[in-house]
Chains A and B, each alone.
Chain A
Amino acid sequence: MRSIGRIAAGVATAALIVSQTAAFAQEPLKAIGAGEGEVAIVAWAGYIERGDTDKAYDWVTDFEKETGCKVTVKTAGTSDEMVALMNEGGFDLVTASGDASLRLIAGKTVQPINTDLIPSWKEVDPRLQSAPWHTVNGVHYGVPYQWGSNVLMYNTNVFKEAPKSWSIVFEEQTLPDGKSNKDRVQAFDGPIYIADAALYLMAHKPELGIKDPYELNEDQYKAALELLRAQRQIVPRYWHDAMVQIDDFTNEGFVASSSWPFQVNLLVANKQPIASTIPEEGATGWADTTMLHADAPHPNCAYKWLEHSIAPKVQGDLAAWFGSVPAVPAACKGNALLGDEGCKTNGAEEFERIHFWRTPVSKCPSQGTCVPYYRWATDYIAILGGR
């Protein structure tokens, strides 16, 4: 599924990004002409549906009929793959996540967007309109598509009330059903989970002075690792694959874990006693942006898609399908597939409490030098191995 953790090549590139880009900003399109009959999009699996999997989920067919632009989709499994495909060229648009988007801007692979050509731009959540992962020095390099939050999934038979803190997955304790949480909780199997530990420490050990869970100095980092080592004692298995986690909660007696709304929705649909919450500490999350290639072969159709992509109907259907939150608040109301509670379930009201995923780099604004991502990876492997 979503691989938030797949940034390889330049952990350091991100550091260069902010300083370099603005000066070379390319001129965006001035007016939309006739469509070229085609638009090619690089997207996450499940992001552009034409009703092949489920007839009810189709936001491509109508667009094609209306504009005459045939949509071709190339799905990518990781952010790296997305960057590589865009560098290769031949595509118009990409649904880039927080890590890929800045790399694409730095590499001048994507061009600025003329928001005047996108009538629905004003409908986009104002908090996302100038988000730092696609806006550099006031220039917009993309149109927000969807965002989502990691949630604390729990078993409602064990927790009659929603747990208030992530402590139930971090520290050994007796759960409301009188039994220990040892061997009954899970954590995410990816180095980026260190940020979740840092987020927990931000609230519980203020003396560490963590300001941003993605920017940790040596001491803060060490404290996070320590917390995770203790967590290893109560977590018998880390989850990696969404379907495996669903099975674990169904057949293995797990009662709490960090998770995605995707699993929660599926488990609830399977009539399991499962619910989710975002505890008082907040949560980590992701945000994706549709970006336009610098040498897009079909810019007019691409602009038409950008407009279409933030139509409330498309946004609502997609949110229902993917377990994410629409970038357009209007999409939350009156969508048959999403339901009136859909946005809330997927975390829409929690925006302020979500720390959107970024690549940890050595040069960080909040404290000068931080622990870079490749060390996160090495150390997380050691923690899984019980070291």
Chain B
Amino acid sequence: MSLAAPGAPTRDGPLRRLSDLFMRRPRLFLALLLTPPLLWLGVAYLGSLAALLAQSFFSIDEFSGLIVREFTLKTYGELLQPANFDIIVRTVVMAALVTLFGGVIAFPIAYFAARYARGRVKALFYLLIMLPLWSSYLVRVYAWKLILAKEGVITYIADHTGTRGLLDAWLSLPVVGGPSLSISYTGTFLVFLYLWLPFMILPIQASLERVPRSLIEAAGDLGADARKTFSTVIFPLALPGIVAGSIFTFALTLGDYITPQIVGSSTLFLGQAVYTQQGVAGNIPLAAAFSVVPIVIMGIYLTVAKRMGAFDAL
């Protein structure tokens, strides 16, 4: 009688049996693999979101300041109070402007990077676009505060180029003006624009690179001039990339609560309102209702974006 040689594979180790089991029942294996990520998504992500949503239907008792755990739409009604509604409008307008200008600035950069830059230049381009993302967000915002300060670089340059009058004229305008660039909506806008620009450039560039050269040549052959080619061929084909980029810039501006605290005139943006209501005031229902606002706005935005085919470019 000869037994299996020592060390030769046998079928009775527990690991072996396990592997056989998975072999026979591939679905079990799949379920085991998928359970942890699904649990994470379901409990940690959707669960916390649901808890938040539930809170927004509670209200705070006027007299005791305690949270009343009964269903009510009163808290959502509070969002419509002038002071709170201001915050929503202010944030959405800021996000829309940042997105719009972001697109206008990003497009030519992305176009150059996608169509003209080659080899080393292209690598350098990527590097320059990504470079800011490698340093701390806070450091960059503080740096901008210094640039925009009353005694900062911009004022210095304006003084020495004779454009100080122009700067002061802009700052004396209502709404966008203020005592200095870093204490005005203009400053907040510029910092947002700077911060989120890479997120606009990269998707546009990706979509421009996928516009077939042959189509552009065909447009030329058919007698379209540069402007016509751009408006009928390049722009429509790049649109999904622009929309994808705008989702980033819009959502990021909508949720940011640090930049407006450092650069700006101390008027609150949505993120700050949530932070104050929750962390300082203990008015969790109102904080929850506030945080539902960007979710709803983004929901609408994404639906429209999907219609425009934004997700085809991802």
Which A residues are closer than 8 A to B by beta carbons? 3, 5-12, 78, 80, 183-184, 189-191, 235-238, 240-241, 244, 247, 251-253, 361-362, 369, 372-378, 381-382, 384-387
Asked if A7 and B150 sit within 8 Å, CB to CB, the answer is no
Known: A252-B180, A252-B182. A8 touches B149 (CB 8 A): no
Asked if B282 and A7 sit within 8 Å, CB to CB, the answer is yes
Contacting residue for A236 out of B83, B84, B152, B265, CB 8 A = B265
Known: A183-B179, A240-B261, A384-B268. A362 touches B86 (CB 8 A): no
Asked if A362 and B65 sit within 8 Å, CB to CB, the answer is yes
Asked if A237 and B183 sit within 8 Å, CB to CB, the answer is yes
What chain A residues lie within 8 Å of B152 (beta carbons)?
251
Cα distance, A190 to B264, chains bound together (Å): 16
Whole-angstrom distance from the CB of A387 to the nearest CB of chain B? Answer: 4
Pick the interface stretch among B29-37, B123-131, B270-278: B270-278
Asked if B283 and A12 sit within 8 Å, CB to CB, the answer is no
Whole-angstrom distance from the CB of B291 to the nearest CB of chain A? Answer: 15
What chain B residues lie within 8 Å of A184 (beta carbons)?
179
Q: How many A-B residue pairs have CB under 8 A?
A: 122
Asked if B149 and A382 sit within 8 Å, CB to CB, the answer is no
- How would residues 84 to 118 of chain B score, 1 for a CB under 8 Å from any chain A CB and 0 otherwise? 10110010000000000000000000000000000
Asked if A12 and B65 sit within 8 Å, CB to CB, the answer is yes
Whole-angstrom distance from the CB of B261 to the nearest CB of chain A? Answer: 6
What chain B residues lie within 8 Å of A387 (beta carbons)?
82-83, 86
For B267, give the chain A residue with the smallest CB separation. Answer: A385
Whole-angstrom distance from the CB of B49 to the nearest CB of chain A? Answer: 20
Known: A12-B66, A247-B145, A381-B83. A237 touches B279 (CB 8 A): no
What chain A residues lie within 8 Å of B142 (beta carbons)?
247
Asked if A377 and B281 sit within 8 Å, CB to CB, the answer is yes
Q: How many residues of B contact A (CB 8 A)?
A: 41
Which B residues are closer than 8 A to A by beta carbons? 60, 63-66, 82-84, 86-87, 90, 142, 145-146, 149-152, 178-180, 182-183, 261-262, 264-268, 273, 276-284, 286
Whole-angstrom distance from the CB of A270 to the nearest CB of chain B? Answer: 14
CB-defined A-B contacts under 8 Å, sample of 21 = A11-B65, A78-B279, A80-B279, A183-B178, A191-B276, A236-B183, A237-B183, A240-B261, A247-B142, A247-B149, A251-B146, A251-B150, A251-B151, A252-B151, A253-B150, A253-B180, A373-B65, A377-B280, A381-B87, A387-B82, A387-B83
What chain A residues lie within 8 Å of B60 (beta carbons)?
374
What chain B residues lie within 8 Å of A252 (beta carbons)?
149-151, 179-180, 182-183
Cα distance, A381 to B146, chains bound together (Å): 26
Asked if B279 and A8 sit within 8 Å, CB to CB, the answer is yes
What chain A residues lie within 8 Å of B265 (beta carbons)?
236-237
Asked if A244 and B178 sit within 8 Å, CB to CB, the answer is no
What chain B residues lie within 8 Å of A362 (beta carbons)?
63-65
Supplied contacts A252-B151, A374-B283, A381-B277, 19 more A-B pairs, CB within 8 Å: A3-B280, A5-B280, A8-B284, A10-B282, A238-B266, A247-B145, A251-B146, A251-B151, A251-B152, A252-B179, A253-B180, A374-B60, A377-B282, A377-B283, A384-B267, A385-B83, A385-B86, A385-B90, A386-B86
Of residues B82, B86, B268, B281, which shows the largest number of chain A Cβ atoms within 10 Å of its Cβ? B281
Whole-angstrom distance from the CB of A359 to the nearest CB of chain B? Answer: 10
Contacting residue for A382 out of B64, B83, B283, CB 8 A = B83
Whole-angstrom distance from the CB of B274 to the nearest CB of chain A? Answer: 11
Cα distance, A384 to B268, chains bound together (Å): 7
For A239, give the chain B residue with the smallest CB separation. Answer: B266
Asked if A373 and B267 sit within 8 Å, CB to CB, the answer is no
Cα distance, A280 to B112, chains bound together (Å): 64
What chain B residues lie within 8 Å of A377 (beta carbons)?
276-277, 280-283
9 shortest interchain CB distances as A-B pairs? A377-B281, A382-B83, A8-B282, A11-B65, A183-B179, A251-B149, A238-B266, A372-B65, A387-B83
What chain B residues lie within 8 Å of A11 (beta carbons)?
64-66, 282
Contacting residue for A378 out of B151, B267, B281, B284, CB 8 A = B281
For B61, give the chain A residue with the smallest CB separation. Answer: A12
For B272, give the chain A residue with the smallest CB separation. Answer: A381
Whole-angstrom distance from the CB of B264 to the nearest CB of chain A? Answer: 7
Asked if B64 and A372 sit within 8 Å, CB to CB, the answer is yes
What chain B residues lie within 8 Å of A236 (beta carbons)?
178-179, 183, 265-266
Cα distance, A78 to B171, chains bound together (Å): 37
What chain A residues lie within 8 Å of B280 (beta carbons)?
3, 5-6, 8, 190-191, 377
What chain A residues lie within 8 Å of B284 (beta carbons)?
8
What chain B residues lie within 8 Å of A235 (beta carbons)?
266
Cα distance, A373 to B283, chains bound together (Å): 10
What chain A residues lie within 8 Å of B286 (beta carbons)?
378
Whole-angstrom distance from the CB of A6 to the nearest CB of chain B? Answer: 6
What chain A residues lie within 8 Å of B273 (beta carbons)?
381
Cα distance, A10 to B67, chains bound together (Å): 9
Of residues B64, B145, B262, which shows the largest number of chain A Cβ atoms within 10 Å of its Cβ? B64
For A186, give the chain B residue with the smallest CB separation. Answer: B266
Cα distance, A377 to B84, chains bound together (Å): 12
Known: A6-B279, A11-B282. A237 touches B266 (CB 8 A): yes
For B180, give the chain A residue with the smallest CB separation. Answer: A252
Asked if B283 and A378 sit within 8 Å, CB to CB, the answer is yes
Whole-angstrom distance from the CB of A97 to the nearest CB of chain B? Answer: 14
What chain A residues lie within 8 Å of B276 (beta carbons)?
191, 377, 381
For B286, give the chain A residue with the smallest CB separation. Answer: A378
Whole-angstrom distance from the CB of A89 to the nearest CB of chain B? Answer: 23
Whole-angstrom distance from the CB of B242 to the nearest CB of chain A? Answer: 32
What chain B residues lie within 8 Å of A241 (beta carbons)?
261-262
What chain A residues lie within 8 Å of B283 (beta carbons)?
374, 377-378
Whole-angstrom distance from the CB of B69 to the nearest CB of chain A? Answer: 14
What chain B residues lie within 8 Å of A237 (beta carbons)?
183, 264-266
